[in-house]
Chains A and B, each alone.
Chain A
Amino acid sequence: MNYQIEKNGNPFEIKEKKLQKGKWARVITFLMLLFFSIFALVPFYFMLVSSFKPGSELIRYGINLKLQPEIMSLKNYFLLFTGKEGIYLHWYKNSVLITFFQTLVAVFLSAAVGYGLAIYRFRGRNLIFITVLIVMMVPIEILMLPLYELIVRLRIIDTYAGVILPFAVPPFAVFFFRQYALGLPRDLLDAGRIDGCSEYGIYFKIMMPLMKPAFGAIIILQAMFSWNSLVWPLIALRSNEHMTLPIGLSSLITPYGHNYDMLMAGAVLSVLPIIIIYILNQKAFISGLTIGAIKE
């Protein structure tokens, strides 16, 4: 950490010893970051390599990172389409549709709520905002039994609607949109009113376009959350054809028939779309996360 000043061209004299120390610090920094990056990436590499090998290899030898061209093929990927009557395709379709609808509903509703809380002064505004903050603190897992009872009563068990309902207006997204909308120019509100726009016209035609970066960040975060979510879909979905990818894949973990062949290839294809979106759009992933950490 010593070299920071030297690098910045600090006018103070640089001693030979200090330079030497800086070099070592740099090497250790590099090695540490390299170690943890390898730790982060090895599972991805393993999954990719294993997805081309027969599942029996994994059962017999456990984790094996070697490339073995003699036993590698695309067979597992073909099996995803044909194995178990193509159930994998059902899971994929369910995951895509649930992610799409959940994100659409969550973003549309929470943006409106966040905007309303930020722009207008009205009775109950603070109470509602405090409620949003408190709800953010309550783990939804605690309520999974009564929510299960609720979707049974509403007859939406084992449907997409049942999966979406408890996440229809995610408090974290409301919080994010409110923080963002606080920065919108309020003069536009008055200008819009003078031009004869209704309050909703102002929101949809003037303000929403200005909130585009916020929409980008929340769409990505919410989509990632929906795509990967496990606990609630596990409860809300009952039949095998209605399962999503995480639940479907977890049901393949038992070494039976061609399960393992499908497991690895299936896992790779389930991660792939998110990694592609991430590589194309890293900034949006990160800006969505950090809003919570730095308040005010």
Chain B
Amino acid sequence: MSKMKKTLVSSFFSSPKIAPYVFVAPFILFFLVCYVYPFIKTIEMSMEQIFGFNDVTFIGFDNYRRLNNVHFFNALKTTTAYTFWTIMVLIPLPIILAVLLNNPATKGKSFFKSALFMPALTSVIVAGIFFRYSFGEQATTLVNAITGLFGMEPRIWLQERGSAMFALVVLCTWRWLGVNIVYFLSGLQAIPQELYEAAAIDGANAWDRFFQITLPHLKPVIIYVVTISIHGGYSMFAESFAYWQTHTPGDIGMTIVSYLYQMGFNDFDMGFASAIGVTLLFIVMVVNLIQLTVMGFFKKEVN
């Protein structure tokens, strides 16, 4: 009897109708536990005043009203500027380097490719150790020594708003340059070679070929890289942590996620921190939509 039951159960699960659901079940479960529940929970928490898990009062939108403060706007500015600058650097520069690497006449390609990709293997902390001391305040530290060669005064790089942003973008460029080069190289290799040959016969010079053929063909890759850069830029925390840990004097280098971390895990103001998180999610969605519309991503889908 029990044997029959067992075969019934096993034949139910292995029927081609049910099997697909068994395969995708882990994701459904994961999505419910790690995204849906936390998402609902964070919206609920953002409307509460929380002193520990069992001392909770509903306060409506008060936490969102508290976002109207100078620290949040500093964090928003820092995060937006960081996203903007990383995109301004980490799109054109890797495209140029990828074009150079894609050229059959370039020597030592495999060495350059391996070398440029190496930083992507490290953790932010390991990278941060180097850049923290490179941007140190003494006149002898690496960056001050280099700027000194050009007759500039030594600066306290990590304590001034503008130079702190520069340090963040340099760290990000160091870690991601090689990865973006790999993306663009794969895009370049997908461009049919005949297009270039035809253009050369038509008398197009290198600039024409770059702007008329290479760039338009790289557009899908550019859209992809901009999308992940917005994602990475707005959720950035680790780079800031590597430079300043969680204490940032005068909000320098403090991103929205660092602010969320400070409020939630240092000050235990969980309700307010949740309001920061919900707002950030909203910002990321809006920025992504604007970006995809501007880049004409949806237009292509309709056609």
- What are 30 contact pairs spanning A and B, CB under 8 A? A1-B103, A4-B105, A7-B104, A30-B108, A33-B97, A37-B111, A39-B174, A61-B140, A63-B130, A63-B134, A63-B136, A113-B23, A113-B24, A120-B20, A138-B35, A141-B235, A143-B39, A144-B277, A145-B42, A145-B45, A146-B42, A168-B26, A174-B27, A193-B16, A200-B19, A227-B123, A231-B237, A249-B126, A293-B225, A294-B187
Q: Given that A128-B27, A138-B35, A145-B270 are known contacts, is A62 also in contact with B140, CB under 8 Å in the complex?
A: yes
Task: Pick the residue among A7, A139, A289 that contacts B234 (CB under 8 A).
Answer: A139
CB neighbours (8 Å) of A122 from chain B are: 17, 20-21
Task: Determine if A275 and B41 form an interchain contact, defined as CB atoms under 8 angstroms apart.
Answer: no
Shortest distance from the beta carbon of A231 to any chain B beta carbon, whole Å: 6
Taken together as a complex, chains A and B put the C-alpha atoms of A119 and B24 apart, in Å, by 11
Check: A142 CB closer than 8 A to any chain B CB: yes
Stretch of A40-48, A67-75, A79-87 at the chain-chain interface: A40-48
Q: Is A245 an interface residue (CB 8 A)?
A: yes
Highest count of chain B CB atoms <10 Å: which of A62, A147, A152, A198: A62
For the complex, is A19 an interface residue (Cβ under 8 Å from B)?
A: no
Take A1-B103, A62-B141, A138-B281 as given contacts and tell me if A43 and B42 are in contact as well, using a CB distance cutoff of 8 Å. no
Contact A137 B34 (CB under 8 A): no
Interface string of A103-143 (1 = CB under 8 A from B): 00000011011011101101001001001100101111111
- Chain B residues near A229 (CB-CB < 8 A): 123
Chain B residues whose C-beta falls within 8 Å of the C-beta of A61 in the assembled complex:
140
Nearest CB on A from B123, distance (A): 4
A142 contact set on B, CB distance < 8 A: 42, 235, 257, 277-278, 280-281, 284
- Interface residues on chain B, number (Cβ under 8 Å): 108
Q: A267 on the interface (CB 8 Å rule)?
A: yes
Chain B residues within 8 Å of A, Cβ to Cβ: 14-17, 19-24, 26-28, 30-31, 33-35, 37-39, 41-42, 45, 53, 96-97, 99-101, 103-108, 111-112, 114-119, 121-134, 136, 138, 140-142, 174, 177-179, 182-183, 186-187, 190, 196-197, 200, 205-206, 209-210, 220-221, 224-225, 227-228, 231, 234-235, 237-238, 241-242, 245, 257, 260-261, 264-265, 270, 273-274, 277-278, 280-281, 284-285, 288
How many residues of chain A are within 8 Å of chain B by beta carbon? Answer: 100
Which secondary structure dominates chain A's binding surface? helix
Contact A4 B106 (CB under 8 A): no
Complex contact B182–A1 (CB within 8 A) = no
User: Nearest residue in A to B183 (C-beta to C-beta)?
Assistant: A293
Complex CA gap A146/B131 in Å reads 33
Q: Is the CB of A33 within 8 A of B100?
A: yes
* Complex interface: chain A residues within 8 A of B174 (CB): 39-40, 43
Given A4-B104, A36-B177, A169-B27, the answer on whether A230 and B124 have CB atoms closer than 8 Å is: yes
| Closest beta carbon of chain B to A37's beta carbon, Å | 4
| Interchain residue pairs A-B with the least CB separation, the first 8 | A116-B23, A139-B235, A146-B38, A120-B20, A199-B19, A228-B123, A1-B206, A43-B130
Contact B140–A29 (Cβ < 8 Å): no
Q: What residues of chain B lie closer than 8 Å to A206, measured between beta carbons?
A: none
